[in-house]
Amino acid sequence: MNKIVIGITDGRLYENYADWITQPGNVELVRLGYRYSNAEEMKRCNGLFMTGGEDIHPRFYNKKEYVEQYGLSDFDEKRDEFEINLLKHWQESKVPLLGVCRGLQLVNVFLGGTLIPDLPSFGKFNHSRKQKDPRYHPVEVDPNSKLYSMVRATSGEVTSVHHQGIDRIATGLVTNAITADGVIEGVEWLNPTGKTPMVLVQWHPEAFADKESPFAKNIREHFIELIQVNP
């Protein structure tokens, strides 16, 4: 099997994401980040993996007032700017994209959507990390969605390590997975015809205790398959 090259965004717990996505054994990674000034390396990548990390600064979705209103401080605006530029390269390259947690949120913002700045402030408490371990909660999957064709389940338990989430979904996207308290856990193209393939989930497939869970393993396998059929 030919080796594929995946661009992966630099950030917290980078090695966790890197170890998970390279498990098939035929993957070469390009670590993309503003510290390396290497957005142009997207040109040699067969896929893009946008990982989790800091909050996205609300100025990128025209809600600067959220910073003071919700006491937000966990930002890296240089990362935001770099990765938004990276998404412009992605649009041009048309390679498959996988977005996890912050990755999903940034794609939504890039395409014109907005975010909930702090889920507990909106009465949604069951999403942040529990001490050092991920929290798990149920998720419901739309049986008519592309996501369902990946996981082959209408419900399951997923990891949750976030305090922000999608508020207004970007035009052209549609929700494919949701929690009982109404938090969006996955989105996909409303009409995928002619669109660049992408997989966007709020949970952390790289952090599952059950490595065989279809909500973890199948996400990675589908992304790799997308790359192999879209060289």
* Catalytic residue annotation: 101, 204, 206
Q: What six digits make up the tokens of 16?
A: 């966790």
| Torsions phi, psi for 224 (to 5 deg) | -60, -40
Give CA separation, 87 vs 7, 74, 94, in Å. 12, 22, 10
- Please tell me the distance from the alpha carbon of residue 37 to that of residue 173, in angstroms, as a whole number: 30
Q: Angle at CA 59, nearest 5°, toward 36 and 99?
A: 55
Residue pair 52/74 in contact by the 8 Å Cβ criterion: no
Q: What six digits make up the tokens of 41?
A: 């390396």
Q: 181: Cβ–Cβ under 8 A, 6 or more apart, which residues?
A: 123, 124, 126
Residue 124 DSSP label? -
